[in-house]
Structure 1
Amino acid sequence: MAEHQPHSHPESEAPVDFREVQRSPQFQELRKRQRSFIFPMAVVFLVWYFAYVLLADYAHDFMSTPVIGNINIGLILGLLQFVSTFGITMWYVSYANRRLDPIASELRGELEAKGVSLPEETK
């Protein structure tokens, strides 16, 4: 019995021309949509993060301003870092489900129709 190598192509599978897939209009649209979300969001988050770090380092009086009891602005902004991280993650998942997954599924269907067998973890 022949062993199946992880990256080999059994006779029944068509080889994938990845460059052709990358040049397809669907793949280009998928990349465009993904980048149009990821790059601006990364910039926004990094600006927000570094603003917090700079405020913590250079604006001690502002960051130590009490809000309620022992809770100060620095603590609130620090906790908002976590909130914003989870918020961005949830927003991206929603965006991917609505705007990216339909195109990715269409591409996958086209490849499978050509006889390409894709790994189970990509389904």
Structure 2
Amino acid sequence: MARNMIGSHPDFRSIRGAHRRFGAVALAISVGGFLLFVLLSSFLPDVLNRPLFGHVTLGLAGGVGQFAVMALTAWRYTVHMERRVDPAADRLRAEMHREAAARARVPQQQRRFGGW
């Protein structure tokens, strides 16, 4: 398969689409949660200073929750890549290797005259 034709291959399109869709959702969740936390701390500090139990406030729980959101996003990214992207990439890679091996076995047509 020629390199310029790889963009039209169904497996490549599947890889690209799956990666883009997941990336948009993960970005919205991760950055959106962080932005919400920053905006709340800037404009509504009284809300984040509310005690939940003992010395733990809503802001402290939200800050620790950001680590949980990032860990969950990283875990889902790994699962998504293993299930959706890696199998399609492996199929595409195997097909490219098969076609490259087939091209290597076919002798190239030799020129009858040397270059000028």
Larger radius of gyration: 2
The residue correspondences of 1:109-120 to structure 2 (distance < 5 A) are: 109-115=94-100
Aligned residues: 101
- Residue type at the aligned position of 1:101: D
- State the alpha-carbon separation in 1 of the partners of residues 71 and 16 from structure 2: 23
TM-score w.r.t. the length of structure 1 is 0.77
Aligned residues: CA RMSD: 1.4
The 4+ residue runs of structure 1 with deviation greater than 4 A are: none
TM-score w.r.t. the length of structure 2 is 0.81
Partner in structure 1 of residue 113 of structure 2: none
Q: 1:92 aligns with which of 77, 87, 107?
A: 77
Partner in structure 2 of residue 44 of structure 1: 29
**Post-superposition offset of 1:70:** 0.9
Larger helix share, 1 or 2: 2
Q: 1:68 aligns with which of 38, 53, 57?
A: 53
Q: Percent of aligned positions with the same letter in both sequences?
A: 25
**Post-superposition offset of 1:18:** 2.4
Instruction: Provide structure 2 residue ranges, at least 5 long, that are not aligned to the other structure.
Output: 102-116
